[in-house]
C-alpha cells in the first residue's frame, strides 16, 4: 500500500523526534511491503523565518492533499515577540480548520516499566493506566462569540459556549467507534447539572448509545472526572467531552504517566485524514543535543497507521517495539532510572526500529 504523508518537523526538537518516527515508519514499510512518500513542509517559527508566515498556502495545500500529516512541535522563545496574527501556534489552528480536524484523541498509557515515574502511588497505578480522551476540537467556548464591554462603569467580559446537535453527534460517533476498537467502555464527561450545552450533550450521547448496545456507557460530571483521574484512573477506558473540558482533563491525564515525552495524540476529520503529533512542546533547551525522547512521536506514527491507514497490525508492531525497548532497559534522560541504559534520541529510535521484525 502506498501513502503520502505531509511531514511537518517544526521547531526545537521537532526535527529530531520526527526523524526517529520516519525511521520507524520506514522499517514498517520494509517489513509489511508498504510505500510511504514523505513531503516535508515548514511550519511554525522556521516558516516565519523563511516566509514571514507560520505556514504558507503551498504548505497548507500539501497537507490537504496528503493521506495524513505528521507534526513535530512548533514555537519557542525566539518568536515570542512576533505579531500575534503570525505566532507559530497560529499554524496549528489553521491546519485544524483547513483539514476539518474536529476530533482530538489523547491516549494516556502508563507503561508498567515506568510505574515508579508516575506521581501516583504504585498501588493505584500498579496494573497500568490505559485510557483515551476524545476531545471535541473545533467548537465550544474557544470558538464561540466573545466580547469585552463597559457596563455601568466597569468592564464585563463574555464568552459564549455554543454546541449544535450535529457537532455533538459527530464527536460522539468517534468516541463510540473508538470504544468499539478498545474495551467497549465509554464515559461521557459534562456539567449537565449546570450548563444547557451539557444537557444537550447528554441528550445526544444517550441517543447515540442506543446505536451501540455493545458499549457500556455512562455519564460523569467534569469535576468528578478530575477527581477520579487521580483517585482511580484505571477505571476509565474511553472518555469523551467538549473542547474546554477536554483541554483541561487531557493535560491532567498526561501527567499520570510520569513523562510528557511518552504521550502521542491524533486530530481527526470525518474521513481518514488526520494530523498526528506528540503532546509536548518544542523544548528549545535541549534542541540539537540529541537528548529528546522520541517515543511520543513514534507512538503518534503508530496512531496514524491505526486510524488513517487502517493498518492495525502495523500499529501493534510499533507499540510492541516500544514496549520491548523499555523491557530491555533503554531510557532517554526524561525517563532514566537507576540500573537502566541511558540512550540518545537517535539511539532510542534505532532500538525501536530494530525491534520491528
Residues designated catalytic = 142, 191, 223, 247, 251
SS (H, E, C) the chain: CEEEEEEEEECCCHHHHHHHHHHHHHHHHHHHCCEEEEEECCCCHHHHHHHCCCCCHHHHHHHHCCCEEEEEECCCHHHCCCCHHHCCCHHHHHHHHHCCCCEEEEEEEECHHHHHHCCCCHHHHCCCEEEEEEEECCCHHHCCCEEEEEECCEEEEEECCCCCHHHHHHHHHHHHHHHHHCCCEEEEEECCCCCHHHHHHHHHHHHHHCCCCCCEEEEEEHHHHHHHHHHCHHHCCEEEECHHHHHHHHHHHHHHHCCHHHCEEEEECCCCCEEEEECCCCCCCCCCCCCCCCHHHHHHHHHHHHHCCCCHHHHHHHHHHHHHHHHCCEECHHHCCCCCEECCHHHHHHHHHHCCC
Residue in the structure block whose three cell numbers are 510492541: 320
What is the rounded CA–CA span in Å between residue 310 and residue 83?
A: 40
Q: How many CB atoms lie within 10 A of CB 211?
A: 10
8 A C-beta contact, residue 154 and residue 186: no
What is the tally of helices (H) and strands (E) in the chain? 12, 14
What is the rounded CA–CA span in Å between residue 191 and residue 298?
A: 35
Amino acid at each position: 500500500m502506498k501513502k503520502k504523508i505531509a511531514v511537518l518537523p517544526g521547531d526545537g526538537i521537532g526535527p529530531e523526534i520526527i526523524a526517529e518516527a520516519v525511521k520507524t515508519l520506514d522499517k514498517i514499510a520494509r517489513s509489511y511491503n508498504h510505500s510511504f512518500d514523505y513531503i516535508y513542509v515548514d511550519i511554525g517559527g522556521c516558516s516565519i523565518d523563511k516566509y514571514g508566515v507560520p505556514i504558507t498556502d503551498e504548505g497548507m495545500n500539501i497537507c490537504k492533499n496528503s493521506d495524513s500529516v505528521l507534526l513535530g512541535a512548533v514555537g519557542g522563545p525566539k518568536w515570542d515577540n512576533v505579531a500575534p496574527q503570525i505566532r507559530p501556534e497560529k499554524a496549528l489552528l489553521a491546519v485544524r480548520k483547513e483539514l476539518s480536524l474536529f476530533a482530538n484523541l489523547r491516549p494516556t498509557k502508563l507503561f508498567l516499566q515506568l510505574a515508579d515515574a508516575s506521581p501516583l502511588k504504585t498501588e493505584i497505578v500498579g496494573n497500568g493506566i490505559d485510557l483515551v480522551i476524545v476531545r471535541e476540537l473545533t467548537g465550544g467556548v474557544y470558538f464561540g462569540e466573545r466580547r469585552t464591554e463597559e457596563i455601568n462603569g466597569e468592564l464585563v467580559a463574555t464568552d459564549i459556549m455554543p454546541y449544535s446537535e450535529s457537532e455533538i453527534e459527530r464527536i460522539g460517533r468517534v468516541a463510540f467507534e473508538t470504544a468499539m476498537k478498545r474495551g467497549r467502555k465509554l464515559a461521557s464527561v459534562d456539567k449537565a447539572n449546570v450548563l444547557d450545552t451539557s444537557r444537550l450533550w447528554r441528550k445526544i450521547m444517550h441517543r447515540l448509545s442506543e446505536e451501540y448496545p455493545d458499549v457500556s456507557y455512562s455519564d460523569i460530571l467534569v469535576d468528578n472526572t478530575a477527581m477520579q483521574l487521580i483517585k482511580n484512573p484505571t477505571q476509565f477506558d474511553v472518555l469523551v467531552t467538549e473542547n474546554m473540558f477536554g483541554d483541561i482533563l487531557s493535560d491532567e491525564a498526561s501527567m499520570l504517566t510520569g513523562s510528557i515525552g511518552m504521550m502521542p495524540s491524533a486530530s481527526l476529520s470525518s474521513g481518514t485524514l488526520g494530523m498526528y503529533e506528540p503532546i509536548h512542546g518544542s523544548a528549545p533547551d535541549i534542541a540539537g543535543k540529541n537528548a529528546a525522547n522520541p517515543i511520543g512521536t513514534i507512538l503518534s506514527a503508530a496512531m496514524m497507521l491505526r486510524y488513517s491507514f487502517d493498518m492495525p497490525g502495523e500499529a501493534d508492531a510499533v507499540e510492541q517495539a516500544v514496549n520491548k525497548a523499555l523491557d530491555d532497559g533503554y531510557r532517554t534522560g526524561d525517563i532514566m532510572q537507576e540500573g537502566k541504559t541511558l540512550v540518545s534520541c537517535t539511539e532510542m529510535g534505532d532500538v525501536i526500529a530494530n525491534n520491528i521484525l
